[in-house]
Amino acid sequence: MSTETEVQGGGAPKLKLGALTALVVGSMIGGGIFSLPQNMAAGAGAGAILIGWAITFVGMLMLAFVFQMLANRKPEVEGGVYGYARAGFGQYMGFNSAWGYWISAWIGNVSYFVVMFSALSLFVPAFGEGNTPVAIICASVLLWALHFLVLRGVHGAAFINTVTTVAKLVPLALFIVLIVFAFNIDTFNLDFWGSANLGSVIDQVKSTMLVTVWVFIGIEGASVFSSRASSMQEVGKATVLGFLLTIALLVAVSVLSLGVMTQPELAALKNPSTAYVLEKAVGPWGAKLMNIGLVISVGGALLAWTLLAAEVPYLAGKDGTMPAIFGKTNENGAPTFALWLTNGLIQLFLIITLFSSAGYLALLSLATSMILIPYLLCAGYALLVAQRGEGYAQGESKARDLIVAVVATVYGAWLIYAAGPKYLYLSMVLYAPGVLFYLWARKERGEKMFKGIEAALAAVVVVLGAIAAWQLATGALSL
């Protein structure tokens, strides 16, 4: 798999399959996989965990196929999650997809900084839980180092992301190999269905699904950079390859751990739980290895999400869905305004964590749910494309793509349900201010503010956002 970039027609360098796959894997594998054994075992036994992974595999594979299918059938649509939502459901829904994705991405980056320096506290106690003054100062230095790295060019940063992605896979591969040798089938089979204290199998499976909602965020990484890819076919291939590699790692880490420690033991661990699992298998050096692995993994994910967080508003600004200033680039092709605003907001929230870590964590839970709406819109667009036969040769069968799109749409709706309808409602607090940016962009282009039912949708978003904000302020509703 080539990790190089290529230049087409003397233009800007293009991302090839290796770099695109690394963006998918790098954005999905962050800190979550290192806490997966405890997260999964907290509410389910081995049998239910296996069922949960089977359901997740089918649902997320269909979503990966959706991105692959759209890359092949609609190569003219750029921007991935944002572009597909806009093409399928209009300018305002496209804007909301870009807006929600952007907010979720940069707030998620704040959590990566906190998690990274919390892990480093094993070696530097002054970092504490990752939100001490020393930790925030060091996190800020790293933030702006990444910022200026990306300003030097997206393709160069993507190459470094490829290197860090390979580096983060090494400790995870070592973990899996070592755990295989320590695996005990009797430990794995002990209370296999969790009947002793975990409730029904259905409830257990649902608890695992709540965990798997989050671990695949980033599957759209290659499609977001479709405008910078060497070909749309490679975008589709990278999405599926990245998904298959990632799910193999996730399943291995969570399931094999159940053969080293029992479900109650895993559920009682602190995170990152992989450190304690490997410590039991090989001794204290195992915990140090996994903490180092966590730092490398989160560092790589930070770079991947720095790229993703700036790319979506840049694309939306370039085509006029967001204000034109978001579409500005420097001589290296890096999205300057989008990058400065994004990292400026991350810096602000890093400072906020010094004074209100609880408030920040609540906002993180709310913002993370916002990324699920773009997923549902992409699956819905794929369904429309297949139904209409757009991009198909005469007489070409649409049956496979229709099945894929239907399953992905149902799964997308399930993800939102599993995350909690309450969060969908509360996310309106963050969607509502976006209306002002949308109107700004429409005024710049001299276009009609809303078309069809868009005005009614915007009104609903603003009203629900205002009500939810009031309820939060008065304590009538909490996160």
| C-beta separation of 41 from 267 below 8 A | yes
**Confidence class of residue 44 from pLDDT cuts 50, 70 and 90?**
very high
User: What does the mean pLDDT of the chain come to?
Assistant: 87
Task: Tell me what pLDDT residue 114 has.
Answer: 84
Task: Tell me what pLDDT residue 6 has.
Answer: 43
Q: Give 206-260 pLDDT, tens digit per residue.
A: 888 778 877 788 888 778 777 778 888 888 889 899 999 999 999 999 999 999 9
**Confidence class of residue 358 from pLDDT cuts 50, 70 and 90?**
low
Mean pLDDT of 184-192: 93
pLDDT at 56 over 60: yes
Question: Which structural domain range is residue 126 located in?
Answer: 7-421
Instruction: Provide the residue type at 420 as one letter.
Output: G
The answer to whether residue 80 is domain-embedded is yes
pLDDT at 436 over 50: yes
Task: Tell me what pLDDT residue 1 has.
Answer: 37
Q: Which residue has the tokens 């609903």?
A: 460
**Confidence class of residue 152 from pLDDT cuts 50, 70 and 90?**
confident
**Confidence class of residue 479 from pLDDT cuts 50, 70 and 90?**
low
Q: Model pTM?
A: 0.83
What is the domain count for the chain?
1
Among candidates 374, 56, 62, which has minimal Cα distance to 216? 56
Task: Tell me what pLDDT residue 129 has.
Answer: 81
Q: Which residue has the tokens 């509360």?
A: 426
Task: Tell me what pLDDT residue 7 has.
Answer: 41
Tokens of 217: 């965020």
The answer to whether residue 365 is domain-embedded is yes
Among candidates 114, 183, 56, which has minimal Cα distance to 350? 114
Mean pLDDT of 47-57: 93
| C-beta separation of 267 from 44 below 8 A | no
292: CATH: 1.20.1740.10
Tell me how many degrees the CA angle 437-442-447 measures, rounded to the nearest 5.
Answer: 170
Q: Give 313-323 pLDDT, tens digit per residue.
A: 998 898 888 99
Mean pLDDT of 269-284: 91
The answer to whether residue 458 is domain-embedded is no
The answer to whether residue 463 is domain-embedded is no
Among candidates 394, 4, 75, 39, which has minimal Cα distance to 236? 75
Task: Tell me what pLDDT residue 5 has.
Answer: 41
The answer to whether residue 99 is domain-embedded is yes
The answer to whether residue 446 is domain-embedded is no
The answer to whether residue 38 is domain-embedded is yes
The answer to whether residue 319 is domain-embedded is yes
Task: Tell me what pLDDT residue 4 has.
Answer: 40
Residues 32 and 426: their CA atoms lie apart, in Å, by 24
What backbone phi and psi angles, to 5 degrees, belong to 121? -65, -15
